[in-house]
Structure 1
């Protein structure tokens, strides 16, 4: 009878150790990295993009800036992966998502507006189909 709980405990420990094989993002305070995947798609390389970034949103902005510059130079890569203080940043056509691992759950941080800019998801007005609508403030009244 005591053998069964020991086997169960060993099986649980083996399962948990298999989960810890995920590649962790580097944790350097204020440093933003670009993640380049190897040809086999399993081994990432972390290249330093910017230092002195106080928040993850600023790192996402640096990644978006890099992505746009490469597109202007004729690049075709539209999705970018970055890392900031132990978290992964995923930029794609929908916006910016954050995750603890490369393959795990991702959470929306910034969404794209109708003209392609990034904004906080709750700040974007959408029509009945869910498509983003660009909203401009009304012009000031004369004499004000």
Structure 2
């Protein structure tokens, strides 16, 4: 083996070993249950059911958005919240809704906020 390939193989093995050390919290899988997720002071997550018999992720996101708006109307300073639906995390943030397979991992845009605050599929609104 050449010295370069030995170094490359050893770096790949080290990177693979390190990925196993990263904490990856998975969302619980309860069929049709939309949950609000609260991070506790000790770093654990508490799952509170918001709605049952929810047919899809978009409907769960809408339930969480409605909850966020009700919190704001009651004077809550919290503007962002996290939910979970069937093994996925839902992150309701000021610029839209993101989905993630783990709590700590990458998040992917699902819905964006329009100019008037509504939620829409990315690319569905015409550019102005």
TM-score normalised per structure 1? 0.74
Distance 2:94 2:18 in 1: 35
The answer to whether 1:110 aligns with 2:99 is no
Partner of residue 23, structure 1:
25
- The DSSP-based 3-state class of the residue aligned with 1:69 is helix
Q: Shift in Å at residue 63 of structure 1? A: 0.1
User: Structure 1 residue aligned with 2:41, among 39, 43, 46?
Assistant: 39
The answer to whether 1:125 aligns with 2:126 is yes
Are the counterparts in 1 of residues 24 and 105 from structure 2 also a CA contact under 8 Å? no
Q: Shift in Å at residue 39 of structure 1? A: 2.2
What are structure 1's unaligned runs of at least 5 residues? 1-7, 128-144
RMSD: 1.9
Q: Shift in Å at residue 15 of structure 1? A: 3.6
What are structure 2's unaligned runs of at least 5 residues? 1-9
Q: Which has the higher contact order (CA 8 A, sep 6+)?
A: 2
Distance 2:100 2:77 in 1: 24
Q: Shift in Å at residue 125 of structure 1? A: 2.3
Q: Shift in Å at residue 126 of structure 1? A: 2.8
- The DSSP-based 3-state class of the residue aligned with 2:111 is strand
Partner of residue 138, structure 1:
none
1:78-119, Cα deviation, whole Å (9 max, x unpaired): 001000011100011111000011121111100001100111
Q: Report how many residues are paired.
A: 117
Which has the higher Rg, Structure 1 or Structure 2?
A: 1
- The DSSP-based 3-state class of the residue aligned with 1:83 is strand
4+ long deviations beyond 4 Å: 10-14
Partner of residue 70, structure 2:
69
Distance 2:127 2:81 in 1: 25
